[in-house]
Structure 1
């Protein structure tokens, strides 16, 4: 009789879909670890392994960012995130693989900006409260903040006085810089970004109706604005202030970026 209700079937499906981490995510973590080991030991090309370390580490952080959205949504009442495979940490399972993984990686390659990816699809009808809605959006940027803090603590504890493994710590500093840019950018109250998602449940319907026509283009407009020199300088002034607050030397992050973009010579 219980079988006829479909509940055990749903539970088995949800349980299967919730298994994590995915082999792809494990592979990304291993790539980060192995390339970090190569940088630490001075094996091979420092530029190539700095690229692999930062690129793989950045995609790992993107997966964790999206996972954080999903796990908070799951705890808040939306069980559909498990069925969609969002709790597996598999980048291929996210709603917008291009926006969540490929475009952010491309922006890192081209400009050194930690572009926040498209969030996982959350069925907010099942979330229990406005607070739950806000926490789902807040979880992503907080993941970047925690990631940056962990890297900064490692730098402060071991990297600041280590003159032997400069290339490794430079790559760590650049990866920290990317986490900070992602956290700052994604916290802006712009439709389409998590910062807006945090406050959206508390906005009136009148305001939401006014915002709706521009919402699909708001993020694109933001990135156009970032190419305007005064806006660009203001943004990176904020980022560098946070980086300094974390105790990460700017010159070390710059060196890490130059190693990462080794093909430029």
Structure 2
């Protein structure tokens, strides 16, 4: 690893991209909750794009910084928006809509990044092959923006509380199955730590890596490198 100024700039950009993507993720939760009848986030001043209102010191700064330094997938989280499901007009349905709004916002951000990247590429295909200059940095930031948002999208779709995917699973469960799922949820954070760190580091088994490659990785390749001009793919 070369500790050059470029290396530290890349780390800073990575953290900034995660902070912005996580901010929009939380705003999306709060906005959909508001549209479904719960004004809690709006009343708390959290329906704003000001990142300072949403940042979590560990999840928005320290975690993505450490992950960037380790060279792995970079993701993080912002402070969850306050939310009262009792205010929702159709609670069972609306809880799923509120939960899915976060990953959906990340997918939309990734699509926007792809569109801008392809427009830039169409204007000057040579910038993709450059190793320096403004075009290189635009390419680097845009591709990172797409990748980070895809990682955030699919990470949050993992069906373990408190991640958003757990609400989707709970929607389809009833009775004893739902009770059993809620009991399992108390072990979700230790399970995530095992999946993220212990299995890859000690047993060299990386189920989340396989999952990200099959989801975020495959979609990233499809979005960014399909139908590129010859010699650039």
The residue matched to 2:224 in structure 1 has which SS? coil
TM-score in terms of structure 2 length: 0.75
- Distance change (3 Å), C-alpha of 1:180 and 1:220: farther
Match of 2:221 among 201, 224, 244: 244
CA–CA separation in structure 2 for the residues paired with 1:61 and 1:137? 16
Match of 2:196 among 226, 249, 253: 226
- Distance change (3 Å), C-alpha of 1:60 and 1:184: same
Match of 2:117 among 155, 180, 186: 155
* 2:80 is the counterpart of 1:119: yes
Aligned counterparts, 1:193-212, within 5 A:
193-212=163-182
CA–CA separation in structure 2 for the residues paired with 1:71 and 1:100? 21
Q: Residue 54 of structure 1 corresponds to which residue in structure 2?
A: 14
Q: Deviations over 1:64-108 (max 9, x none)?
A: 1000000000111111211222112344544x8246523543454
Contact 1:99–1:118 (CA under 8 A) maintained in structure 2: no
* 2:43 is the counterpart of 1:83: yes
Contact 1:73–1:127 (CA under 8 A) maintained in structure 2: yes
CA–CA separation in structure 2 for the residues paired with 1:113 and 1:52? 12
- Distance change (3 Å), C-alpha of 1:92 and 1:170: closer
CA–CA separation in structure 1 for the residues paired with 2:181 and 2:45? 31
CA–CA separation in structure 2 for the residues paired with 1:220 and 1:248? 37
- Distance change (3 Å), C-alpha of 1:101 and 1:233: closer
Give ranges in structure 2 of 5+ residues lacking alignment.
227-233
CA–CA separation in structure 2 for the residues paired with 1:121 and 1:146? 23
- Distance change (3 Å), C-alpha of 1:101 and 1:220: farther
Please tell me the root mean square deviation across aligned C-alpha atoms, in Å. Answer: 2.7
Aligned length: 205
CA–CA separation in structure 2 for the residues paired with 1:137 and 1:56? 24
User: Displacement, 1:143?
Assistant: 0.7
Q: With CA pairs under 8 Å and 6+ residues apart, which has the higher RCO, 1 or 2? A: 1
Contact 1:115–1:185 (CA under 8 A) maintained in structure 2: no
Give ranges in structure 1 of 5+ residues lacking alignment.
1-44, 250-265
The residue matched to 2:162 in structure 1 has which SS? coil
